[in-house]
Amino acid sequence: MKKRQTLKVSFILVCALFFGGCATQPQKAIAPSGALRVGLYLGSPTSIIPGDSPATTRGVSYELGRDLANSLGIPFEPIVFQKNAEVLVAAKEGKVDLLLTNATPARAKDYQFSKTVFRVEQGYLVGSTSSLQSIDQVDKKGINIGVSIASSSEASLSSHLKNATLVRTKSLDDALLMLKSGKLDAFSTNKAILYELSDQLKGSRILSGTLGYENFALGVPLGREEVIPYLNGFIDRMNASGRMAEIIKFSGIRGVAVN
């Protein structure tokens, strides 16, 4: 009983500090519809990989959204899209309340972001017949590099690559088929996704080296900046309790930066 009272007092203090003392305001500010609508996209352990049941479904964004909804005492409403670009559009239009994505400066113009939740290395995946051995060999004429449409990889590689050709892919399934058929020499994104794709493509491999890092953070539509201190506190509590590490482990993410 004493522990419950302490938790209740802590929650009220957070509300008082960040939301003017009204314990109902966090729910209304984060989830105006009454349910926490979390934008997710298929195929990435940072977002969602469906299982046979809710218990076997994995993904950091899926788990964090569910835990946040539970902590606020409101329904959890996962909204699943085929690709991250669709999640970004939905969040920009206010059709979802929360997303977890690479918080680039360009995206910060369209969304309010929390502190970084975790970082993931960026790289390249190549097929079994590729002669490429490291990222230093990629930028050559005649090399086709796949990137997801409207992804941060598309934005960064557009200015980074001088000789290779960028090929925009509609989905991760599309990228996988193009790698398998040889239409792509390599596909670039964060390594969490690359490892998942590699598991599905026999003989494929991730090139040695690191292009950079993606800094994943919780994002909300513009105009809801008052919720960011609450989200930062939520992240701190998840880290302190060990729950964040548990979620990351269960999601099966590979390529997470150590520091």
Is the model's pLDDT at 104 over the cut of 70? yes
Residues 6+ apart with CB under 8 A from 248: 60, 118, 256
Domain count, the chain: 2
Q: Please report the pLDDT score of residue 258 as a whole number.
A: 60
Q: Using DSSP, state whether 89 is helix, strand or coil.
A: helix
Q: Do 111 and 218 sit in the same domain of this protein?
A: yes
For the segment 19-42, the average pLDDT, to the nearest whole number, is: 81
Query: What does the pLDDT look like over 110-140, one tens digit per residue?
Result: 999 999 999 999 999 999 888 899 999 999 9
The amino acid that residue 209 corresponds to is G
259 within domain boundaries: no
Query: Do residues 23 and 94 share a domain?
Result: yes
- Considering the domain boundaries, does residue 187 fall inside one? yes
Claim to verify: residue 116 and residue 20 sit in the same structural domain: yes
In tens, the pLDDT along 55-101 reads 899 999 999 999 999 999 999 999 999 999 999 999 999 999 999 99
pLDDT of res. 131: 86
* 19 plus 105 within the same structural domain: yes
* Residue 12 confidence (pLDDT) above 90: no
Neighbouring CB atoms inside 10 A of 100's CB total: 27
Residue 173 lies inside a defined structural domain of this protein = yes
Same domain? For 91 and 113 the reply is yes
Determine the structural domain holding residue 218 and report its residue range.
2-120+214-251
- 109 and 35 share one domain: yes
